[in-house]
Amino acid sequence: MSAMTLADYHRHPAWSPTALKAAVTGTMRAWSHRFGAGAAPFVPSADMVKGDLVDALLTPPFSLDGRFQVFSTIARNTKIGAANCAEAEAAGLTPISVEMLDQAQRIRDALRADPVVGEVLAALDPALSQQPHFWEDQEGRPCRCLPDVVTTDGRLFDLKKTRSAVPRKFYWQAKDLAYDLQMAHLALGHENRHGQPPAEAGVIAFEWPTDPAAPIDCSLLILDGQDLQKGLQRREEAFRRIAECQTTGSWPSHGRQAFRPVSQDFSLPETVAIDLDSIELF
């Protein structure tokens, strides 16, 4: 990365896609708890750590140094595991187990070997990928982004760990987690940085199987203009919700809602519904 550390980037007050996603995927009370004044430092879940680990192996600086510390065990319910975790955290590092590292390396190798995903990763530009960018959008709002993969021919991709990389299953959960908003925000940053929109924008979705011997499934999902336009609309909705709460000083939860949820138009046939087998997505 540049002179700015990853920790410094995440502490910067400019608007990030993560903060904006949270404003349209959860309640404003939950948003304030994580991003509001006086919020406690965010502690990533175990599944988030797994995704970050694969990212670290696939994107610049292609190293775990300064972010992770590997131990034989990190089971906090054991004396040695708890001590290992405490040692890593005292040094500002994320503890991981040897088994986690082995699986992450297996995923890295599988993604690189995939004929479609591997082509994108082979074209990764290390001078542009995982490099923070700051800008002001058309409304004068300070924004930031940290793209996972920018290729030498101007394509933009984000890495996502998921329970299911099957495109149909991934799509609905990606909509629930506002990945279209995130990609639209990243595309805005790309255009500001390079003077033109990305030649292509997409998501590299990969699975982390429970069975360490299971094959690694992955997919390359391309967002079209309609997807990005919907993401921009949801991005503005996020800003609207945040501004309303900041004005009133009220950060509500779910509030008054219809007992039967209204179906949302995600520009796909109504017969294509959320697949319960893919309910966990990280």
Which domains are delineated in the chain?
A: 6-43+114-249+266-278 (3.90.320)
Beta bridge partners of 155: 200
The whole-angstrom separation of Cα 205 and Cα 158 is 8
pLDDT digits (tens, 9 = 90+) for 190-230: 999 999 999 999 999 999 998 989 999 999 999 999 999 99
DSSP for residue 75: -
C-alpha dihedral, 56 to 61 to 107 to 113, nearest 10°: 160
Alpha-carbon distance of 123 to 249, in angstroms, equals 47
Q: What pLDDT is attached to residue 274? A: 45
Tens of pLDDT along 124-150?
Answer: 999 999 999 999 999 999 999 999 999
Q: Tell whether the torsion through CA atoms of 69, 70, 75 and 78 is positive or negative.
A: negative
Mean pLDDT of the chain: 92
The Cα–Cα gap between 60 and 171 comes to 27
CA distance linking residue 100 with residue 25, whole number of Å:
29
pLDDT for residue 5: 87
Confidence bin at 269 (pLDDT 50/70/90): very low
Q: What are phi and psi of 68, to 5 degrees?
A: -130, 155
Print burial letters for 173-205: b (CB count within 10 Å at least 16), e (below 16).
Answer: bbbebbbbbbbbbbbbbbeebeeeebebbbbbb
How many helical (H) and strand (E) elements, i.e. helices and strands, does the chain have? 10, 8
- Tokens representing 55 are 């990212």
* pTM, to two decimals: 0.90
Could you check whether the bond before residue 132 is cis, i.e. omega within 30 degrees of 0?
no
With residue 71 as reference, give the H or E element that holds it. strand 68-71
Q: At what angle do helices 17-25 and 179-194 cross, to 10 degrees?
A: 150
